[in-house]
Amino acid sequence: MNMMLANAKPASATLGLCDVDIHPRAQSRHAFDPWLSAEMRHRMHTYGLRPRHGYVRGTPFPKSQPLASRRDAWTPQGGSPASDLAFFREQHLDHYGIDVGLLNPLQPSGQGDTNDGFSAAMAHAVNEWQLAEWVVPEPRLRASIVVPYEDPEASAREIRKRAGNPRFSQVLLMSRTSMPLGNPRYWPIYEAAQEAGLPVGIHAFGYSGWAMTNGGWPSFYIEEVSEHATSCQSLLISMVVEGVFERFPRLKIVLIECGMAWLPSVAWRLDKIYPSLRCEVPHLKRKPSEYIRDHVWVSTQPIEEPERPEHLRDTMEWIGWDKILYASDYPHWDFDDPRLSIPNWLPAETRAAIYGGNARAVYGW
């Protein structure tokens, strides 16, 4: 078995340790049955999920390790990683002394499914499943509101259904969507999120129906995981220039598993071009970078590791020391140990903010 460093919370997590990216997994697709109608259960088990990527089974690229997971995260009984609350508590929450953990369910969540009705039914079922199986039994956990984001009106209904329930801490979207996320078609989601006072977490991946790079389908998984930077650039530029943040001034966006070092350069490019093209987007009242600095949070995993640490420090400083949140990505193969992934050359108070203070502020924990 894997011998991890002994149990301990990072010494500088003096404001608590919050993990904003945990991926719970259902033991089987029948796990959602109690909250699906008879029709939708039938659809699930007869036709299955229909993600927008060409009706093939599985993911577009082999993901480095089975189920994209740490090899030591399978349960002692051989169950899927993060499918058993007791083992998850022991290996993750207790091991690191995590005070608050945010769940981001991925497939089979039905997000981005080609069938809108099924996607909405699954979102409801996955949200109920998070409550029943995870968040109610384990008070350190919070749920994300899974929404059928390609049906924004249905998404807004799901958000309003959960609004005011403190067990839900954010609205969850994927980074790859059928249109750029700033498109007004998605605005009902932002309207409902702002109304509920909930941040919108945008997690890397998803199935858009489009190739994941601007130039078409890539050859390698390494291209897919590097592409998170570019797809997030597109969605963020879209949100800024469409005026999402003018229309929803209290909206908070948390970019999860998307990296961060690319963010300042995008803002600089937008600011560079804005004076020339301002009349094309007259609804913007401020420089593009100002919207980004005020409305965007980022999570650490997988943090860039440049040879010269000051390069990373400079980008973090631009993004804002109050905007960076620790994330583990448990149980996935590119998981980050909180004690080793947050650079030790940061001042102790900055590390305390990244470990817990910033997440408490943005999520109200």
Partner 1 sequence: MKHVVAEVAAIPAGARHVTEAGGKRIVIYNLGGEFFALADRCPHQGASLSAGQIMGHVCSTAPGQYDYARRGEVVRCPWHAWEFDIRTGKSFFDPRRVKTRAYDAHVECGELLAAESFSVAVENSYVVVEV
- Binding residues for partner 1, rule: CB under 8 A, are 1-5, 64-65, 70-72, 333-337, 340-341
Question: Measured between alpha carbons, how far is 63 from 59 in angstroms, rounded to an integer?
Answer: 8
- For partner 1, the closer of residues 129 and 355 by Cβ is 355
For the chain, strand residue ranges (E) read: 18-22, 100-103, 141-146, 168-174, 200-203, 253-256, 296-299, 324-325
Where residue 294 falls (left for φ over 0; alpha for ψ -120 to 50; beta otherwise) is alpha
Minimum CB–partner distance for residue 86 and partner 1 (Å)? 20
Q: Which one-letter DSSP state was computed for residue 185?
A: G
Minimum CB–partner distance for residue 309 and partner 1 (Å)? 15
Question: Measured between alpha carbons, how far is 19 from 325 in angstroms, rounded to an integer?
Answer: 8
Minimum CB–partner distance for residue 307 and partner 1 (Å)? 10
Q: Which residues, in sequence order, are bridge partners of residue 143?
A: 168
Task: State the DSSP string of 263-288.
Answer: HHHHHHHHHHHHHHHGGGSTT--S-H
Minimum CB–partner distance for residue 91 and partner 1 (Å)? 12
Task: State the DSSP string of 13-80.
Answer: -TT--EEEEE----SSGGGGGGGS-HHHHHHHHHT---BTTTS-SS-SS--SSGGGB-TT-S-TTSPP
- For partner 1, the closer of residues 4 and 277 by Cβ is 4
Minimum CB–partner distance for residue 71 and partner 1 (Å)? 4
User: CB–CB of 364/25 below 8 Å?
Assistant: no
Query: In Å, how far from its chain's centre is CA 80?
Result: 21
Minimum CB–partner distance for residue 349 and partner 1 (Å)? 24
Encoded amino acid at 334, one letter: D
Minimum CB–partner distance for residue 340 and partner 1 (Å)? 5
Minimum CB–partner distance for residue 166 and partner 1 (Å)? 33
Residue 262, Cβ neighbours under 10 Å: how many?
A: 17
- For partner 1, the closer of residues 84 and 336 by Cβ is 336
- For partner 1, the closer of residues 43 and 351 by Cβ is 351
- For partner 1, the closer of residues 273 and 340 by Cβ is 340
Minimum CB–partner distance for residue 324 and partner 1 (Å)? 19
Residue 14, Cβ neighbours under 10 Å: how many?
A: 16
C-alpha distance from residue 11 to each of 92, 240, 343, 349 (Å): 17, 38, 13, 11
- For partner 1, the closer of residues 4 and 136 by Cβ is 4
- For partner 1, the closer of residues 47 and 345 by Cβ is 345
- For partner 1, the closer of residues 4 and 273 by Cβ is 4
- CA-atom Rg of the chain in angstroms: 20
- For partner 1, the closer of residues 65 and 114 by Cβ is 65
